[in-house]
Amino acid sequence: MFRRCVSDPNGTRYPFGPGDVVVLPKGWYGRWDISQKIHKVWVVHEHPDLMGASTTPVVQHVSQLASVHPSEPRPNTTWGSPTTASSMHYDVGPTAVGYWTCTPGGFVSNPKANTEAFFVLEGSFFLT
C-alpha cells in the first residue's frame, strides 16, 4: 500500500509524497489513502467547466524544477540582474499550476487581474 495516494473510482492510484505538487482537477472525485501524517498547503479555485479539460489528478515532484535554469532577464529591474525560469505543470483555462525560480535581484511586478498563492520551497525574499 502507498503511504499517501489519491485513487480514481476505477482504482487508478496517484501516489504522492514530500515535495510533490498534486492537482485535483474540477470534477475529480475519488479516495484518499493516508497512512502517515501529512501537512499540505492547498488552494481551491472555482472556474467554469471547460471542454476537453483533464479530469485525472496530476502529480509532479519539485525535483523536476532542477532541469529548469533561470535565463530570462526580468523586466522592471530595480537592483541586480535577476533572471527567472518556470515550468508549467497544469494549465487549463483560468487555472495554472507550475514552478518558478529566480536569481537574486529586485524588480517591480506588473499588476495582474488574478490572485496568486505560493509556497516558498527554498530561499527567502522580501515582498513590498
Distance CA 37, CA 39 (A): 7
Domain map (residue ranges) of the chain:
4-107
Strand partners, 7: 13, 31
Tell me phi and psi for residue 116, to 5 degrees: -125, 135
Read off the pLDDT of residues 2-15 as tens digits, 9 standing for 90 and up.
679 999 999 999 99
Q: What is the largest CA-CA distance in the chain?
A: 53
Read off the pLDDT of residues 56-90 as tens digits, 9 standing for 90 and up.
888 888 777 667 777 888 888 999 999 888 888 88
Which segment, 12-16, 18-22, 26-30, is predicted with the most confidence on average? 12-16
Average pLDDT of every residue of the chain: 83
Contact (Cβ atoms closer than 8 angstroms) between residue 82 and residue 108: no
